[in-house]
Amino acid sequence: MFKRLKNIAGRRKDKARLSKKDTLASQKREKNKSVQSSVTDNLNLFKQIYKIPENMDVKIREFTLGKSGRKAAILFISSIIDSKRLEESIIKPLLQCQDDDAKISEIIFNPILTPVTEIKKVIVHLNLGNAAIFLDGDHTAYMVDCAKFESRAIEQPQNEAVIKGPKEAFTEKVVVNLSLIRKRIKNEKLIVEATVVSERSKNEVLILYIRNLADEKMVANIKSRLENLSVDAVQNLSLLEQYIEERRYSLFPSVLYTERPDRAVSFLEDGNIVLLMDNSPDCMVLPATFWSYFHSPEDHYLRFAFGNFSRIIRIVALFITLFTSAIYVAVTTYHAEMIPADLLLAIAGTRERVPFPAFFEILIMEIAFELIREAGLRVPNPMGPTIGIVGALILGQAAVEANIISPIVIIVVALSGLSSFAISDVSLNFAIRIVRFGFIFSASLFGIYGMTALFITGLFYMVSIKSFGVPYLAPMSPHYVSSGDTIFRKVVTSEVFRPGYLKPADLKKKGDGSTK
């Protein structure tokens, strides 16, 4: 009975689906035709495909050519073309032409002109912002490049600001990003390959690598991973990351984002692969190791000592973020003897009137801090500072006075919260902040023993994970030949090797910086 009902219901559903005309399949079917010789036929077909005139920005301009009055038409999507260029270099010369035998390529001023015979390809060009010229009695459509997608201008990097060094950042326009990279690498071996990754929206990903540096197996691996993707739409790199990464549930990120072209270029020159996409004001660097999240481009722009000084500060900040709160819980709960007596008395004195165990106290404050942080991010701009003041100052002060929290806890949590801002990479920042809670829990359960247990488990996990075949903590462990750019960096002239874990075709960099 139920089966039958289900069958009926199912059949109905199927029928309903079939009766729908506008499916992806029908969309494909329409395209598998070739350009007709009659302009009217062509235009009718395209009117059907693009649903003109309901589709308001797809425009057709019909006119006659030369003395004989040969019928012609231009088809374009007005919102993504440069109308001035279209007018100057295409329409004007076409209208002014009096010679009947002249070929299109002799009339038009535009540098890029592609003759196309398949409807499928015409559509691809049109969607990319090209204009199509149809002529009566001609089986080809002439595609002229006059695309102009609106986007921001090049601005300063927002998340990876530096004091010393270039201040250009990627924008949402892939052509601009590409030119920013080409500006830095004037090498014909810098290859830019394009792959379409989505079925419906036809999003395009550019794969950049330097041919005689990058490991070809890795390039092939990444290409095949992109090509085997089956999705409807991938808007930008942040989403693409989640499609191509290996461990989707892992806390640790496996690809690196940077909005700085100089950083992308330095990775390219080491043999990494860079992905670019429209609508992403950043690029994706593959493969990435733990150290690349920890580094900042400024480490290398600053002189040796200064760069390493900021690295020390950062690694200290990282450990403070991870451990201070947990150590406070562990020490006050299990290892009180390790605190010098005076400090111990001070802590005991402030904690005297607080009704909660240390673990709970820390947890309240850590959650409060995360709340303020998240709220501060989402709050409209003019109200931002207010939230900060109310949240951090008044709330903290009042909590202490109300004997909910002891003042030392405020210091501990503020320290760990503040330090977390020293880790600039968003993904690593999140990972560290989440792991911190793990340490607090383990500290409350087993004190230092629990923390060490979690730490070593984390280490085991981190050495075992790989980003596109590269161990996460390479080149430190397992050891590889490299310039040793991990926690510290060397003097620039000593950085003579490319990272061995990338298996670059050319391991040694030419020249050690000394004069010839």
Partner 1 sequence: MKQTKGKMGIREFAAILFLLIGTKITDDTPTYLYSGAKNAAWISMLLISMALIIPTILLLKVLSVHKGKNLHEINLYLFGKVIGNMVSFTLLILGLLTIVMDSSVYVDIIGTMYFTKTPTIAIFAVLMCVSAYGAKKGVEHIGSVAWLVFFYTKVTLIVALFFTFKEGNSKLLFPILGPGVGGIVKTAAQKLSIFGDFFYAGLIAPFVATFKDFRRGMFLTYLILTVELTVALMLFVMLFDFTSVEILNYPFHETIRYIQIGFLTNVETLFFPFWLVATFIRFSFYIYLFVLLLGGIFKIREFEYLIPLVTVIFILLGIAPETPLITISENRDMTLQVLSPLLFVLPCVMWIIAKIRGDFKNESSV
* Interaction site with partner 1 (CB under 8 A): 331, 334-335, 337-338, 340-341, 446-453, 455-457, 459-461, 463-464, 471, 473, 476-481, 500-501, 503, 507
Least Å distance between CB 290 and partner 1? 11
Least Å distance between CB 293 and partner 1? 17
Please say which residue, 13 or 335, places its beta carbon nearer to partner 1: 335
Phi, psi of 180 (to 5 degrees): -65, -35
Q: Is 482 exposed, middle or buried (0-12, 13-18, 19+ CB in 10 A)?
A: buried
- Please report how many Cα atoms fall inside a 13 Å half-sphere around the Cα of residue 247, on the Cβ side: 16
Q: How is the chain split among helix, strand and coil, in percent rounded to 5?
A: 50, 15, 35
Does the N-terminal peptide bond of residue 287 adopt cis geometry, omega within 30 degrees of 0?
A: yes
Least Å distance between CB 491 and partner 1? 21
Structure tokens belonging to residue 98: 């009096």
Give the C-alpha separation, 354 to 349, whole Å.
10
Question: What letter represents residue 229's amino acid?
Answer: L
Which of 258, 263, 261, 222 minimizes the C-alpha distance to 243?
A: 222
Least Å distance between CB 50 and partner 1? 53
Please say which residue, 321 or 486, places its beta carbon nearer to partner 1: 486
Please say which residue, 99 or 216, places its beta carbon nearer to partner 1: 216
Give the C-alpha separation, 168 to 164, whole Å.
12
DSSP structural state of residue 395: I
Burial 86-105 (b: 16+ CB within 10 A, else e): beebbbebbeebeeeeeebe
Structure tokens belonging to residue 384: 């931002």
Strand partners, 116: 141
Least Å distance between CB 85 and partner 1? 53
Least Å distance between CB 337 and partner 1? 5
Please say which residue, 280 or 332, places its beta carbon nearer to partner 1: 332
Least Å distance between CB 407 and partner 1? 22
Q: 339 Cβ partners below 8 Å, 6+ apart?
A: 331, 347
Strands (E), 215-365: 256-258, 273-277, 283-286
Least Å distance between CB 457 and partner 1? 6
Burial 32-67 (b: 16+ CB within 10 A, else e): eeebbeebeebbebbbebbebeeeeebbbbeeebbe
Least Å distance between CB 406 and partner 1? 21
Please say which residue, 175 or 473, places its beta carbon nearer to partner 1: 473
